Structure 1
Amino acid sequence: MSLVFLAGERVYKLKRPIELDFLDFRSVSARRRSCEAEFEINQKLAPGVYLEALPITVGAHGLLALGGKGEKIDWVVVMRRLDNSAALDRLIKQHSLQAHDLGRVCETLAQFYLTQSPVAVTGNRLKALWQEKIGAIRKSLSDPRFALPRNLIDHPLAALDTFVAKKWAQVGTRLANGWIVDGHGDLKPEHIYIGDEVLIIDRIEFDERLRWCDPFDEIVFLGLECEKLGGQGIAAALIEGLADRLGDRPSETLLQFYRVYRACMRARLMIEHLRDEAPRTPEKWPRQALAYLNLANEALAPSHQS
């Protein structure tokens, strides 16, 4: 959704003028609001990284400038460039991640979650939002044009439906106890940098509902992505590390629900790339979707539940 330009010690993020189901960036004013919101919302988890939101201006002679005095034709987010070698995904791929690194990540996240206010949402609305998300997953994964194998789709979708129908009270309890908070929204390994301090970038700014979550939903997602990169054992370590620091831990049933949901949602996002008019590397997306569907089914296997 953004074009990213690297220039020395700075990074410039320019929003694409696009319209999707969940956002509309076609106007300059919408892109300005998004840039300003991204700057503001990322201060807590990435202090000193998001520097400002600046207009792109055009002067009297047609010269473009950042923060100039001419007409404002677009906006960018200005960031401090981080060391990619410190990104969690790189550390996993290079087999250089240490146990204490995970502890630092859990500590940073725990302090963040503990300072976030519970989301002011009713149980019925929260349930409706989850049903909407699961419905979108079903619509994508079941689309005949994608030809995804039913034997990989049916079991996870049925498991999600069963949980919502029969065990939703577990989420209701989390909501009642204040554990549905305004979280990160896209907690991936490539968004976490482990250096002198732990910095977590790219918190979602364009739809607050995508940040409404249980901390353990997000940590399960992070663990899923880490394991997909080859980081065996990281998912369990993250759950235990966060549980120790929050003094709280959901049931295994709820953790399983979160993992199956996240794997299915990622499968959906992968396969949806094929709807683009001219998708890049079209052979890549079905492979990625199948990999996530396999993870969803593995989460439901008895050996994974024990």
Structure 2
Amino acid sequence: MDKNFELHSPIRLLLSDLCRRDGGTLEIRETHMSWLFLGARRVYKLKKPVRYPFLDFSSVAKRRYYCFEELRLNRRLASNAYLSVLPICRTADDGLHLGDHGEVVDWVVEMRRLSDHDMLDSRMRARLLEAPDIEAVASLLSRFYRSLLPERIDANHQLAYLSEQLDIDAVVLCRKEFELAVQLSPLLNKTHRLFQECAPELRERIASGWFREGHGDLRPEHVWLGTPLQIIDCLEFNRMMRIVDPYEEVAQLGLECSIAGYPWVSDLLETGIATLLGGQPTDELAGFYTISKALLRARLCMAHFLDPTPRNPWKWRPLALKYIKVASDRFETAG
């Protein structure tokens, strides 16, 4: 951890004050990796000085790099929302200010605030989602994926990565204290068999250029249905996690909408993408994408209990069980 770790408290105070002056409102949201300070018109995203196996924000230089990566990557699908990267500097009297005068002590991403009620997850909770909304999302994503160059990746490496993720799912979900092993072992075994059956098609899709540098974390809370439509929060900190088959990303978004009570979104998304983009995978591979994403999301839910003080502990097990049910149901439908 770098020496500026202790600065995060006064930096948070600075950003809070800026947001209060932005229309008199302030909302603060926290994730494992960042703090978000939301004013009436602007949002400032401050990366935490943390290091995990899958990311490293532990120095000012690294946080600067990933702030600019976040800006670059998100402007592909949300150019209206992502405005700039700004330095936080120390003033002559040892205070802090947002700007480029003085010693830089950290960096923030500046965004335009998007109305919460137009986020896809909010629309679903309010029962205000309609088919044209999803058709517009499919159209935007199809244009996005068409614009991406095929990734030159090694098929053996990519398949090894996918297999490793399934192994990690099993290790976490089958921990003794979770008491899920008996229920999950048959499902995990079937998923491994399905993966082996889909391996030749995966190799062919890699060779044909279907794997591209996509969004990496396509979920309803990242889709804004206002005008123009924006898809935010691209996963900036790990390129490997962004190298995907477009239909894998679409499967994740459809999965999350199914969990929220909108199962028809998945079919409409897949149909729209297939019509506009082409190259639809077989039903078997599409099923594997949904099942593997469901198991990953279940794993991430239960992994919260590995933290010393998990946030919202009441939330994670019921949500993990919903993802597990989606995976199980997909096998039954296919069978």
TM-score range, shorter chain: over 0.9
Q: RMSD of the alignment, in Å?
A: 1.2
Q: Does 1:31 align with 2:63?
A: yes
Counting only pairs closer than 5 Å after superposition, residues 110-259 of structure 1 correspond to structure 2 as: 110-151=142-183, 153-259=184-290
Q: Does 1:18 align with 2:50?
A: yes
CA offsets, 1:152-201, max 9 Å, x none? x1233112211232330011111121111111100001101112221100
Distance (Å, rounded) in 2 between the aligned partners of 1:33 and 1:145: 39
Identity %: 37
Read off the aligned partner of 1:293 and give its amino acid letter.
Answer: I
Distance (Å, rounded) in 2 between the aligned partners of 1:114 and 1:229: 29
Match of 1:49 in 2: 81
The unaligned stretches of length 5 or more in structure 2 are: 1-32
Match of 1:94 in 2: 126
The 3-state SS of whatever aligns with 2:253 is helix
The 3-state SS of whatever aligns with 1:196 is coil
Shift of 1:149: 4.7
CA offsets, 1:63-102, max 9 Å, x none? 2111141111111000000011111111111111121111
Pick which of 25-34 and 163-172 moved more.
163-172
Aligned residue-pair number = 303
Distance (Å, rounded) in 2 between the aligned partners of 1:190 and 1:64: 32
Q: Does 1:106 align with 2:138?
A: yes
The 3-state SS of whatever aligns with 2:224 is strand
CA offsets, 1:243-277, max 9 Å, x none? 11112211110011011100000000000001111
Higher relative contact order (CA 8 A, sep 6+): 1
The 3-state SS of whatever aligns with 1:102 is helix
Shift of 1:226: 0.5
Q: Does 1:8 align with 2:35?
A: no
Read off the aligned partner of 1:12 and give its amino acid letter.
Answer: Y
Q: Is the 8 A contact 1:58 1:68 kept in 2?
A: no
Distance (Å, rounded) in 2 between the aligned partners of 1:30 and 1:237: 40
CA offsets, 1:1-57, max 9 Å, x none? 110001220000000111111111111111111111101111110012111111111
The unaligned stretches of length 5 or more in structure 1 are: none
Counting only pairs closer than 5 Å after superposition, residues 261-272 of structure 1 correspond to structure 2 as: 261-272=292-303
Q: Is the 8 A contact 2:175 2:181 kept in 1?
A: no
Q: Is the 8 A contact 2:173 2:181 kept in 1?
A: no
Distance (Å, rounded) in 1 between the aligned partners of 2:38 and 2:226: 20
The 3-state SS of whatever aligns with 1:14 is strand
Distance (Å, rounded) in 1 between the aligned partners of 2:150 and 2:297: 26
Match of 1:305 in 2: 334
Distance (Å, rounded) in 1 between the aligned partners of 2:197 and 2:280: 20
TM-score, normalised to structure 1, is 0.96
CA offsets, 1:202-245, max 9 Å, x none? 11111111011111111111001011111131111111111111
Aligned with 2:99 (options 61, 64, 67): 67
